[in-house]
Amino acid sequence: MIANLIARRIAIIGVGLIGGSLARALKKVNAVKTVAGYGRDEKHLQKAVQLGVIDTYSLNIKEVVNDADIVVLATPLSTADSLFAAMSGSLKQTVIVTDVGSAKGKIVESARGNLGELFTRFVPGHPIAGKEASGVEASFAELFDAHRVILTPVAETEHEALNVIIDMWELTGAEVVSLDVEQHDEILAATSHLPHMLAYALVDCLSGMQERDKIFEFAAGGFADFTRIASSHPRMWHDICFSNRKQLLKVMDQFEQHLDSIREAIKNDDSDALLNIFERAKTSRDKFTDQRKKRNDSPE
Amino acid sequence: MIANLIARRIAIIGVGLIGGSLARALKKVNAVKTVAGYGRDEKHLQKAVQLGVIDTYSLNIKEVVNDADIVVLATPLSTADSLFAAMSGSLKQTVIVTDVGSAKGKIVESARGNLGELFTRFVPGHPIAGKEASGVEASFAELFDAHRVILTPVAETEHEALNVIIDMWELTGAEVVSLDVEQHDEILAATSHLPHMLAYALVDCLSGMQERDKIFEFAAGGFADFTRIASSHPRMWHDICFSNRKQLLKVMDQFEQHLDSIREAIKNDDSDALLNIFERAKTSRDKFTDQRKKRNDSPE
């Protein structure tokens, strides 16, 4: 299967759920000879070697990237600035750098500011896949299979670099699509970042209630579905909020207006208004389900 | 299995998902000889007979209840007043009346106001089970299996009547628990009614955005989980909102305060505050998952 080889050596910066799953997926199809891992916690990196996720590691990022054909940044977004800065002097001229961050605007600026002329070799990326569990132990090769990966190349991005990263993700089974940086951040604020804020706020709200024990005792499947994402990695989501702050605040304001419309309808006994909102929402949600079925994407 | 018989004749008022599933479950264990159905739509009732969910039906509620040992009200909450009034003169003195409404305060008052001295024979109930699909076609005998049913008897409720309804639900595989009416409505406002409002508001918010097509195209599993409940029956949820208005408005206010805390933290670059909220919420959500696993309740 050597035909699949996209790189001799890949460096995974942050060997967690996403970085680890990418390494596993690429190894599974023999798309890479050596995976080198960087992290701050040596025990964690040793575990990743034991699990066969990476082949080598170092706590010195320069050693990990200096020989790499592809460097994948898979750490929380707030670390991007310092890690780009730390690696920039040690990268090969032919390197391709990519990332997996859930917000693209800030990381593109960070790469632009830190990678110098190698910024043209940076391909911003975002796999739409994940689960609540984090860490390399939770990683698995099929995480991206039949999931979308959004790439947000900019004017400077070299086509050759873009094509290699498209190939890389397609080898994991993912469907690769392109969006503008701005459009990505707006869409993700609405479909992912806002729902996470609502789930965190709901769980925090209920935890603060007098009846909290009974509340959690009687919470049923709908609540479980609704709040599962509140078990997501706090530091990662903290970073996403600040990285996509403008779009997130905008969509939070819009959401509150819609929630207020519901509240006002209930408060004012406005039966027609309330029914109208619920029917409109059900129509949209049912349409979404139909589209999803048609796309035959990850099943609901 | 005649030992399981709890009633010769049961009347199901509203043969939809819940009423139909209860009828199926009781028939499956031979707990009832005849199920009579009432509804407004004759075609729907004919379908229920064809499916074997009910044995007989009438569009005249008096004919359906006059011979019934147990009457189960399983229609949207706003119909309770008129249906209790319509049936009250035709009930046997030994009848037991129960309901399946998601808010208990108003329906208890409705029963008190309409059933006269038979109010002592009314057992307010709420099975914590359901799905987005509605109608008798969606009903199935196992809907309540391993799910909770909350009964909210009041001071006047006769023990014998309560015990029969406990038996009835246990025969469906459900776990029966009791709560005060007030406590029920407070807990359900938090764990069920509020999440539905958030799901409806979120879908309505996103549907109104310029990028709506792209937004729904790129929405992933988290969004799907989060908004599944926005496909629920609009009329039913409309009625629940007005039936549990006071508790729902209270918990909506509390939720907005928590969401505002998150928004303020993001707006003010308050990293510690934001991380603190997310960590607290994750701890609570993880604890909820653990409790759920221990209870071996309906799997997540």
Would you call A233 helix, strand, or coil by DSSP? coil
A92-141 pLDDT, tens per residue?
999 999 999 999 999 999 999 999 999 999 999 999 988 778 899 999 99
Averaged pLDDT, B220-247: 88
Place of tokens 């090769």: A141
Q: How far apart (Å, rounded) are the C-alpha atoms in residues A10 and A64? A: 9
| Residue B213 touches partner A, C-beta closer than 8 Å | no
Neighbours of B250 (CB within 10 A): 14
Q: What's at A100, amino acid-wise?
A: V
Instruction: Just give the CATH number of B2-178.
Output: 3.40.50.720
A216:B150 CB<8 A: no
> Residues 6 or more apart from B31 whose CB is under 8 A from it?
B4, B5, B6, B7, B168, B171
A43-96 pLDDT, tens per residue?
999 999 999 999 999 999 999 999 999 999 999 999 999 999 999 999 999 999
Q: φ and ψ at A74, to 5 degrees? A: -135, 45
pLDDT at position A217 is 84
Q: How far apart (Å, rounded) are the C-alpha atoms in residues A233 and B295? A: 25
Q: How far apart (Å, rounded) are the C-alpha atoms in residues A261 and A238? A: 29
Measured between beta carbons, the chain A residues lying within 8 angstroms of B198 are 198, 202, 226, 259
The token pair that represents A45 in the structure block = 């990196």
B298:A221 CB<8 A: yes
Question: In the CATH scheme, what architecture does the domain B183-268 have?
Answer: Orthogonal Bundle (1.10)
ipTM score of complex: 0.88
The per-residue pLDDT of chain A, averaged, comes to: 93
**Number of Cβ pairs closer than 8 Å across A and B?**
283
A218:B194 CB<8 A: no
Q: φ and ψ at A162, to 5 degrees? A: -55, -45
The token pair that represents A288 in the structure block = 């979404």
Neighbours of B138 (CB within 10 A): 16
pTM value is 0.88
A17-40 pLDDT, tens per residue?
999 999 999 999 999 999 999 999
pLDDT at position B296 is 56
Give the CA distances from residue B156 to residues B112, B125, B182, in Å, rounded to whole numbers and listed in that order.
Answer: 10, 15, 16
Count of H helices and E strands in chain A? 13, 9
Domain boundaries, chain B: 2-178, 183-268
Q: How far apart (Å, rounded) are the C-alpha atoms in residues B32 and B34? A: 6
Q: How far apart (Å, rounded) are the C-alpha atoms in residues B300 and B284? A: 16
The Cα of B59 is separated from the nearest Cα of chain A by a number of Å equal to 26
Provide the b/e sequence for A161-178 (b: ≥16 CB within 10 Å): bbebbbebbebbbbbbee
- Kindly identify which residue of chain A lies nearest to residue B185, measuring between CA atoms: A215
Measured between beta carbons, the chain B residues lying within 8 angstroms of A271 are 238, 242
- Kindly identify which residue of chain B lies nearest to residue A250, measuring between CA atoms: B263
* pLDDT surpasses 60 at A297: no
